[in-house]
Structure 1
């Protein structure tokens, strides 16, 4: 088992929890501090925001409605939300294939009507791609799913989440920032300094505020593995663009292409916070790592290599790397691409390379394939061109 104190120190992580599920039992560990100013220590009972891992909780609430026959995943969303204009289905929202602009964040407060107000502002959301055509990670879509849950259950989303998931499992969760502060949730850190701007709570279902311990996150994962009605959520629904790892997506779950067995999971990031979950369903093995600052991705890589892969007997795919002698980049990549919250500018560089400015992060890329670019330096980010869309996890349209 990995030494969490050493892991935190090695990667400059401010505070962390690690939980491991084996043989139906959960072991958990804590290290570091919740807040660099107060120096309050992280314990195994501390709460961390799980950010976009919340989407799996939202997907579970949606799947419950489908299992009960109260929601058809393949009927238009407007059947449940009259006035919602994009002609898309709950399945497309669950699989990030709705085509609507993905990173629309509207602050509509934190009251019981926050999600309703948020979704009302999405009624005329722009379509980046036709529904069902392309996977493009979409935060906004999960807020729409949260509103579907509210309408069909007749209660605010955060209340439904507590009543139908947290309470039956005996889990302690915070669904608002105020609750998190009262329950001593970890504070995010940027460059080692506490972050005091958490962002809007109005996109609860997509991952703005839900906080819990790593142990409780794995209790939720264990419930998933023990509930046959949720197994359908782990079935591949759509292939991701070819970023070099042949991944696919289920109903809310990320399905990375590990060798040696099926693996599912999700990760999340709010400002100064990062969360990671990986599960090998056939082996009953799972790990959760929750952090509040520092080189969290590198710490997670260590957990995957030294804990999860060893226990589950699986191996994650090797990441794509730049070719030794790449072809010159085709001129059709050049241009400016935009989607909600993101801009990508591709311009010529020396020696057949291009310069890519992605949200003011400027790096050099070479050709990976005829339809893809890869960053020269680590991390070797891959960009895929599909028609006039440049894909980096989100699809941005050429302007």
Structure 2
């Protein structure tokens, strides 16, 4: 195992848990504090929000319905949700290829009808691309999947999640902020606790689900041991070429490691970050749950020095700016928008362009004819396909 305390101290992380699955056994450690105000220590029993890793739990509940013959993954969503107008399928939603402009964060409360109300507001959601045409990470799509689960199971989503996944595995999870106790980690920004974590009404996409790193790996272990879920980790769609050879399965990210297949997901909520990586053929998995500071740097260290060594895999080397970049095509210049994001690309000096992504202004150069790369770390890659600029989301030229 790693010396977690030293690692989080080095990168300014307030508190963390790390767990590893090897030969069916889970080992875990904890370090730091749950709250910089109370100084309560993190233990291996503490609960952290897993944010968007929740999407894999939602996808699992959907796959159960498919396996039971109760849901056609290729059928129109409106067959289950008659008021939902976009002509898309559950498979489109699971693979982030629905074309829905998908970062909507409506606060519809925390009652049993919160997901239903949320999805009602998406009935006429705009689409930035035809279904199945392009990949664009879509939070709202997984809330729609959560509503499908509710309708077909006849119960609120958080009840279904506990009854069908958490309880059979003996896991302790919290699905609402009201279930928080003193053993829950809070987010930290600039070293200070985040007192308002935001709405929890999009729970199926990742707003509120919390657990320990050990319990997250118990869920991963169940996935590896259940043949009916193997289809979820088969590649369904290639991502735009950001330089990491990534594809997407049914809920799972497939990040394109060498040495064998790897699946996973990561999540981020206000002041919290979570990471999960699994090498299915080796039965190796790691989970890192953090609050505040340089969580990505801690994760990078773990991936390079623990997961990769145990599983015999390597993640692809990230792209870097070319030594002598060519000119940037004028095709990139302009303003691109999608829900909750705006990107403005303007000409700069010396063959560079200036990219303003949600008020984060940086200089980029040409990586390829269809891609830009940031000069300074992190070397973010933007890919242009037609009039869509991809940066994880797809933003349409205005």
Aligned residue runs from structure 1 range 1-399, under 5 A: 1-179=1-179, 181-182=180-181, 184-399=183-398
CA distance in 2, matches of 1:102, 1:283: 35
CA distance in 2, matches of 1:378, 1:59: 33
CA distance in 1, matches of 2:198, 2:273: 15
* Partner SS, residue 29 of structure 2: strand
- Structure 1, unaligned runs of 5 or more: none
| CA deviation profile, 1:128-176 (whole Å, cap 9, x unmatched) | 1110000000000000000000000000000000000000000000000
| CA deviation profile, 1:254-278 (whole Å, cap 9, x unmatched) | 0011000100000000010000000
Shift of 1:102: 1.2
**Normalising by the residue count of structure 1, what TM-score does the alignment of the two structures yield?**
0.99
CA contact (8 A) 1:289 1:300 kept: yes
**Normalising by the residue count of structure 2, what TM-score does the alignment of the two structures yield?**
1.00
| CA deviation profile, 1:195-241 (whole Å, cap 9, x unmatched) | 01111111000000000000000000000000000000000000000
Structural RMSD (CA): 0.5
Shift of 1:183: 5.7
| CA deviation profile, 1:331-375 (whole Å, cap 9, x unmatched) | 110000000000000000001100000000000000000000000
CA distance in 1, matches of 2:102, 2:375: 27
CA distance in 2, matches of 1:38, 1:2: 26
Shift of 1:63: 0.1
Shift of 1:184: 2.2
- Structure 2, unaligned runs of 5 or more: none
CA distance in 2, matches of 1:201, 1:12: 27
